[in-house]
Amino acid sequence: MSSADSSPGRRVSLLTLGCARNEVDSEELAGRLAAGGWELSAEPEASDVVVVNTCGFVEAAKKDSVDTLLAAADTGAKVVAVGCMAERYGRELADNLPEADAVLGFDHYPHLAERLADIAEGRSIASHTPADRRTLLPISPVERPAAAEQVAVPGHAGWGPRVLRSRLDDSPVAALKIASGCDRRCSFCAIPSFRGSFVSRHPDEIVAEAEWLATQGARELFLVSENSTSYGKDLGRELGGTRALEGLLPRLAAVEGIDRVRVSYLQPAETRPDLVKVIATTPGVADYFDLSFQHSSEAVLRRMRRFGSTDAFLALVDQIREYAPEAGIRTNVIVGFPGETEADVAELERFLTGARLDAVGVFGYSDEDGTEAEGFDGKLDEATIAERVGRVSALVEELTAQRAEDRIGTVVEVLVESVGDEVTGRAAHQAPEVDGECVVLDADSCKAGELLRCEVVDSAGVDLIVRPLEPVADRAP
């Protein structure tokens, strides 16, 4: 019996926590469930099953995931945990959270419609058993594409007559996954162990999904992965190899109906001059650089198993601004890493002051299960970490507000996203949810999805106050 036959009229809701990569995974799962006969519902209370796509990155995200699972159980629906936390902890999560009817890993994704039918009918599904997913693919990147066809890689559902994805909202912005996994071995990060080794998607597959997203109302594509600068290293020279992203971006920018393409999560040590030039100068590609600096002290970076220095990072920032002086640059930094000294913090402050970034996330270090740094000596006490987070955050708040203020009098292209009592959108230097927004004045006739040329007339923190000048003409393919 097919899953469509076994799930007549059954409704499922998907709740997504965490990053944009999880949002893509949820929409892939929605596509699989719709193809399997399930009706997608935005109302958990009216659903037979609620699927919670969890985040397992840091303690706060894990708590949010557990709270969401508990709230879902209160609806009376069957509750299924999937996503990073489910993949990472599996049976342990199931044992500690009896409110969840099942805890399923990535390997369940291809047959999720059938598994939900089993759960809805009261059949027990064995909880996922975690394993290091880096062991599932060959060590050599060029051998991975063929092997990946036999491994469940979220967001890599394949392509053909139709894209296996269903949009879960009507936002003019859509995340588009270009790769999954990571080959880096940062000492503080557990992601590679449960997301697996780095695997690129075929560029034709990505373009096909982009064309489909344009038909679904997307006007900005937000390219996501764990490490976008590695894109193509496993694809071979005929597909561009390590320069594949430079070839992919103009193709995506030329997709009819797409106004803007944005790249996320670039590794500074892998950010090549040619890639900088393509991002900064290609029409339709946002001159936006999401660079994962994490710190700038060489001593701290070495303990993090990363590369770089304050001067090297400042040189990269200068290189970007030589091509595009108004380019947006954002990063995240970790303070309080084991062994970090006051001199290291001062070096980070020197970098932040010199770089004049548009947005900076500041995080205090905390141990993550199974990471190398968990066993490091030189751990700082919570009070010291909190003091350093507060100090660096205050500096960042001042610097980013100044950077926004410097944009007053300039002209920006704003993609309108929300029309209500206030019209808001984002300029090229502002990524979804993390980098501030533009408040559009005198915009009563604006529609969501419209791209406007606007003059910046004021700022409020990292947010800009803008006034429309004219709509942006369609870009010629």
Q: What distance in Å separates the CA atoms of residue 166 and residue 28, rounded to the nearest whole number?
A: 7
Locate the domains of the chain by residue range: 11-130, 144-406, 410-468
* pLDDT higher than 80, residue 57: no
The domain at 410-468 falls in which architecture? Beta Barrel (2.40)
Structure tokens at 350: 């020197």
**Mean confidence (pLDDT) of the chain:** 92
pLDDT at residue 290 above 50? Answer: yes
For residue 155, pLDDT beyond 90? no
pLDDT of residue 59 exceeding 90, the answer is: no
Report the C-alpha gap between 351 and 396 in whole angstroms: 11
- 11-130: which CATH number, 3.30.450.40, 1.10.3720.10, 3.40.50.12160, 3.10.350.10? 3.40.50.12160
CA dihedral 417, 422, 426, 430 (to 10 degrees): -120
Report pLDDT digits (tens) over 327-352: 999 999 999 999 999 999 999 999 99
Q: Is 66 helix (H, G, I), strand (E, B) or coil?
A: helix
Do the annotations mark residue 446 as ligand-binding? no
Residue 438 annotated in ligand binding: no
What's the whole-number mean pLDDT along residues 187-193? 93
CATH of domain 144-406: 3.80.30.20
CA distances, 16 to each of 65, 95, 174, 272 (Å): 9, 22, 15, 33
CA geometry: angle 220, 223, 229, nearest 5 deg: 145
**Cα separation, 123 vs 103, whole angstroms:** 14
**Phi-psi map region of 461: left, alpha, beta (phi>0 left; psi -120 to 50 alpha):** left
Residue 148, pLDDT score: 77
Is residue 387 pLDDT above 70, yes or no?
Answer: yes
Query: Around Cβ 350, how many Cβ atoms within 10 Å?
Result: 15
Other Cβ atoms within 10 Å of 158 Cβ, number: 12
**With 50 as the cut, is the pLDDT of residue 2 above it?**
no
Measured CA to CA, the distance from residue 218 to residue 210 in angstroms comes to 9
Strand partners, 438: 425, 464
Segment (H or E) for 164? none
pLDDT at 473: 65
Predicted confidence band at 144 (pLDDT cuts at 50, 70, 90)? confident
Tokens standing for residue 307 = 């590369």
Residues 242-269: tens digit of each pLDDT: 999 999 999 999 999 999 999 999 999 9
Three-state DSSP class for 363?
strand
Please name the helix (run of DSSP H) or strand (run of DSSP E) that holds residue 56, with its range, or none: none
Q: Is the pLDDT at 398 greater than 60, yes or no?
A: yes
Q: Kindly state the average pLDDT of the residues 6-20.
A: 82
Quick one: what percent of the chain has pLDDT higher than 70?
96
Cα distances (Å, whole numbers) of residue 170 to 37, 173, 192, 360, 416: 22, 8, 31, 28, 13
Q: Is 454 annotated as a binding residue?
A: no
pLDDT, residue 469, reads 92
Chain centroid, CA 175 distance in Å: 8
Query: 3-state DSSP call for residue 421?
Result: coil
pLDDT digits (tens, 9 = 90+) for 79-125: 999 999 999 999 999 999 999 999 999 999 999 999 999 999 999 89
